[in-house]
Structure 1
Amino acid sequence: YSMELKEEDDEFIIWNEEEYINATYKNLGYHIHPDLFKIHSQFVMDSAFEKHKTRQEKETFDSDEDDSYKGSEEAKRVHLKLFDGSLEDVNTKLATTARNVKKRGRRSGKYSKEISADNNLLARSKSTSAMKATQAMRLPGAATVSSIVSIDNLSLETLSTMSPWFECEGEKGRVVEMRDESGIRSYLVPPGSSFHVGDASQINDYSNLNGVSFDFIVMDPPWMNLSVKRKKMYSMSDDILGAIDIPSIMDPEGVLAMWVTNSPRVHNMVEKQIKAWGLTRIGVWFWLKTTTSGRPSTSFVASSSGKQPYEAVILCVRREMKQKLAEEKKLPRKNLIIASIPMCVHSRKPSIIEIYRQMVSAAVIDRPLEIFARSLYPGCTSIGYEPLLLQNSEFFQKL
């Protein structure tokens, strides 16, 4: 899969996650359900949406006036060390870029001018129904093993007795079925992927016993964000990050990409942990979430929930390798804004492994790993309590 990403001097790219997912599952005869990407308007409460609807419908296609940018100057100044230590206001920088994203995206046809003011009803409704069809796979009492078995052995029985590592060989991927008391559920498994249902720290034994290390590690820790009433499967205070032995599971020249929230508390935690692992930060990339017409998905003005239309991913390498990687031109660009329409499912991030591959031409990613995974990627090892969550066929449509 290859996207037309612009010249090196651009500060942003427009990434089409829907297209990437569809390319991944085409050989299996599926594509992602198109409703999940129908993010036509900014996310707001239904009552607030009705109030703003009339005003939004009056917008002319070429107009640059946009609620999202008003007040971005007054928005909280985020002088965050992790976001490059500069005093530059992240909000203002991203709001300025967002204007250019919208202009270029509409010009190139990546964004449409139609604004169907529906408060993303189709997307939200499909997301809700698909989530209802998911199965709980975190089964207490399962003995954890580091053995690798074929995806053919996948069943709730296997998961509840020994929870091994499942592997999907072949170039096409597989559709596998699992039976529970409510019937049979189908899951799409991409080619070359392997996964384990269990605690993130179990990657240590797997790596050690199988003699495997990873060259690109993605981590999206479930930060206890107040705006997300997430099941308390993990609590970051239990030092789950510290229990993951990054120095022993990561290749000498490996890269760690860690998604972080905008909370200063989280930033302190991340900074300490990066140091404890002997890593150093080499860049910060921002994911700017947009609607189908190129607007930011929420306002930049700090709302009561503090929800911003962007998230950041911090890129790190071993401290002692930074100089060597720089000399070999293997380091990524320090800053990049990835604009894309989000899938209407909590916590589904753009495919950073594929984006990194395309943006860093010297990067060779042969053994990627995702920790705290909620979906699977081709050729990638995934671990977490819900690695099959978004692989349920309810999220897809047959071609």
Structure 2
Amino acid sequence: MEISDELRSFEATGVYRLNVTGTGTGATFLDPVRLINGSYQRFRVIPSAYYSRSFEPPRQVGDPETEPPEKRRKRKRNQKSKPRELNAMERIAEARHQEVRHLLLSAHESLIKDKYLLERLSKMMEGKEHKLDVGSGSENNFVELGTSWRAPFYEITICFWKPHVLGHGEGSINARKTSFPLFNSIISVEAIDEAEGDFQNRHYILPRGSCFLMSDFERVRDLIPGSSNQGYNLIVVDPPWENGCVRQKEAYPTLPNRYLLYLPVQELAHPAGALLVLWITNREKLRMFVEKELLPSWGVKDPTVFYWLKVKHDGSLIGDLDLFHHRPYECLLLGYINVNTDAKQGSNFKLLEGPQVIMSVPGAHSRKPPLEKLLSEYIPGPKPPRCIELFARELFPGWTSWGNEPLHFQDSMYFSEKSTTANLEKALTPQLQMPGVRSASPSPELRRVRTALPASSNVASARAKLAERARSPANSKPRGADDHMKRGKSGGGENGRLIPSARRRSSPPPPAAAVSPDVGRMRCSWISANSDPLYVAFHDEEWGVPVHDDRTLFELLTLSQALAELTWPAILVKREEFREMFDGFNIASVSEFTEKKINLLRSNGSMLLSEQKIRAVVTNAKQLQKVVQEFGSFRKYCWSFVNHKPITNCFRYARQVPTKTPKAEAISKDLMRRGFQCVGPTTIYSFMQVAGIVNDHLSCCFRFKACRQHKATENNVEAEPALPESLSSPSSEDSEDVVNH
């Protein structure tokens, strides 16, 4: 009966305690799929997707692994490799292994003897469901996307479900979709059910109560709570340890070990105590670094060692236990922060009592099993505990997850939907509230996520103008310069995504979805359904349209320089202030700015540009006058680099749009030679985009053809002096009117 009760508990919880004879330690078998599925309501993890290595299709005849030895490539035979003498570090590692070998064998033996568990284990692996694209490489590479300059513009659209009760037990479920910045912004899902996210044609399942920050190492301090009482009681760290194997480096990006010394672990820990769990490989050099430097820097003393023993679905080990470089187990170092371990026992938790063995069937890509239920009795502090995982690759309900790919295993290809009948009944409970997204960090960006867009008259005016323009015929007259000046005053709130060449993160969109007056139009992917109409109007009417007026070109060059400190949405909102600062971008007037005038601008316009940028604008105005004297106009100078014809790039995806090109580098180099300041290649390419010198509208955007057909030069333009051949001749990348990719 005890075995039956234990198995019944295992079916419900996914945790099975084993009796290990001959040792004073315990062993536990974990079923990660059961542990994860217990926290989901509408979805469940597919076993064949989690244990994809155990569900690989059988090899076909003709594969190298199934060919007989005589048909394989000839190899040197009868030549046995000589045993290599172990170095000092390897000898220490071997000694550690011998110390724990008996414990591991005893734990594994207890698993093999438990026939009831093995029977359940084999049935657990009999799932027939299998997503064909698991491990196919079709999923998003968040590591690569996060390092791109476009990362601040990527948005994830999250769908929340709200029950709508109609009466007499009838009801339905309404969906609410909201877009949020994917990178460098904490997103917390406050809901009684799972939320669903969409990003670049992939679907993601977000567990209720989960919170994640997808960023690089520089933003990890955003996780530090504003109040010490909001610290974390369980901190799990699974670092991408340095690895000398070239194959491993290609599959898993690594991080220099010493970077981990700067993790704010002590600042994340709850003052009432925290349990730290650190996953570590079997390399002795790494083990010494962790024990002598890393853990002391985090305030952890006398860590306890747990061992994760990896087994197959039949209970056998995944490899030879004594194989030196590929042993079938990994180590976990556990220790306390802000806890007096000399005390006999904590008030509401047990102290760690020596090594233990955890056994489970490993998931794909070194996916670790969930640990909260296993370690619940050892976690200090208030209950339920607040948990965080650093370098996470999946989300858990109630957990905060940080890393450069915390959504990796949240892809819908790992999930299937449960029966919807019971879920619908739960969802139609009258007491339920509309789920939402709140800020879990004191940073101002997150507060903007939480704050609704103010119903200002400027925003209403901009939306009304767009609605009026949408009702007008398609071949209506384009707006004049006066309308552009008026549009500079409209808008409110930095809640859009517009130009891919902006290098700083723009503010997140408001929770309320913006109404698009012309839904049928396809726009560039960085224009979302929630983008403010002011920014949509800028995309539709200005960005990418060839400009031939010197004053406007000077303005666009200045605004492109401001991208180093502001974003396009912020610049557009304050465009009229820029014009007031620089006398409507009158070149002659700006070139005569005195030191007194610059100091006045620095004090009055400190919220717009730094002193360096203000002085650069004045200097550029002076140098621009010299260019006009030499070439007749600044327009002729700019357009001569592209033979007076805009470059049209047929990009299909936003990730294809570059930050700079050889042509931009050539223009930048010549401008700096002439004395211009703050005109790097990235700034110049932003200028080329907005001035229409290059058409970077995506090929699916309705503005792509319009800008492509726009005349590059005005009628009856006199012959213009040519630039030196090395500068004016287009590169191989830009020489064509249309570049096909």
TM-score range, shorter chain: 0.7 to 0.9
Aligned to 2:467: none
**Does 1 or 2 have the higher relative contact order (CA < 8 Å, sep 6+)?**
1
- The answer to whether structure 1 residue 279 and structure 2 residue 289 are counterparts is no
Where 2:122 maps in the other structure, the secondary structure is coil
Q: Matches of 1:107 and 1:5 in 2, distance apart?
A: 9
Equivalent pair of 2:13/2:34 in contact (CA under 8 Å): no
Equivalent pair of 1:187/1:392 in contact (CA under 8 Å): yes
Aligned to 1:159: 182
Where 1:168 maps in the other structure, the secondary structure is strand
Q: Matches of 2:250 and 2:371 in 1, distance apart?
A: 23
- The answer to whether structure 1 residue 2 and structure 2 residue 16 are counterparts is no
Equivalent pair of 1:290/1:297 in contact (CA under 8 Å): yes
- Name the structure where strand makes up a greater proportion of residues: 1
Provide Cα deviations, 1:60-106, integer angstroms capped at 9, x if missing partner: xxxxxxxxxxxxxxxx987559xxx9785334432342222222255
Provide Cα deviations, 1:190-215, integer angstroms capped at 9, x if missing partner: 11110011124533233144664111
Q: 2:50 aligns with which of 36, 49, 57?
A: 36
- The answer to whether structure 1 residue 224 and structure 2 residue 270 are counterparts is no
Provide Cα deviations, 1:3-44, integer angstroms capped at 9, x if missing partner: 45437866211111111122223x1233325253265599xx
Aligned to 1:128: 135
Where 1:110 maps in the other structure, the secondary structure is helix
The aligned runs of 1:257-268 (5 Å cut-off) are: 257-268=277-288
Equivalent pair of 1:176/1:189 in contact (CA under 8 Å): yes
Aligned residue type for 1:15: L
Aligned to 1:392: 411
- The answer to whether structure 1 residue 21 and structure 2 residue 29 are counterparts is no
Aligned to 2:256: 236
The aligned runs of 1:188-207 (5 Å cut-off) are: 188-200=205-217, 202-207=219-224
Provide Cα deviations, 1:279-321, integer angstroms capped at 9, x if missing partner: 1134111111111110111222326xx1111111110113762
- Aligned-pair CA distance for 1:268: 1.6
Structure 1 pair 38–106 and aligned structure 2 pair: CA distance change class (3 A): farther
Aligned to 2:122: 112
| TM-score, scaled to structure 1 | 0.74
Equivalent pair of 2:275/2:378 in contact (CA under 8 Å): no
Structure 1 pair 78–297 and aligned structure 2 pair: CA distance change class (3 A): farther
Structure 2, unaligned runs of 5 or more:
1-11, 70-88, 161-176, 419-741
Provide Cα deviations, 1:86-144, integer angstroms capped at 9, x if missing partner: 7853344323422222222555633339999xxxxx98976422x43234341444569
Aligned residue type for 1:128: G
Q: Matches of 2:159 and 2:16 in 1, distance apart?
A: 36
Aligned to 1:71: none
Q: Matches of 1:372 and 1:276 in 2, distance apart?
A: 19
Q: Matches of 1:223 and 1:264 in 2, distance apart?
A: 13
Equivalent pair of 1:41/1:297 in contact (CA under 8 Å): no
Aligned residue type for 2:311: T
Q: Highest Rg: 1 or 2?
A: 2
Q: What RMSD over aligned residues (CA atoms) do the two structures have, in Å?
A: 3.8
- Aligned-pair CA distance for 1:168: 0.8
Q: 2:275 aligns with which of 251, 255, 261?
A: 255
Which moved further from structure 2: 202-211 or 186-195? 202-211
Provide Cα deviations, 1:213-250, integer angstroms capped at 9, x if missing partner: 1111000000122342246754224x321111211111
Aligned to 1:213: 231
Aligned to 2:341: 322
Equivalent pair of 1:39/1:341 in contact (CA under 8 Å): no
Equivalent pair of 2:392/2:406 in contact (CA under 8 Å): yes
Structure 1, unaligned runs of 5 or more:
53-75, 117-121
Structure 1 pair 394–247 and aligned structure 2 pair: CA distance change class (3 A): same
- Name the structure where helix makes up a greater proportion of residues: 2
Aligned residue type for 2:402: I
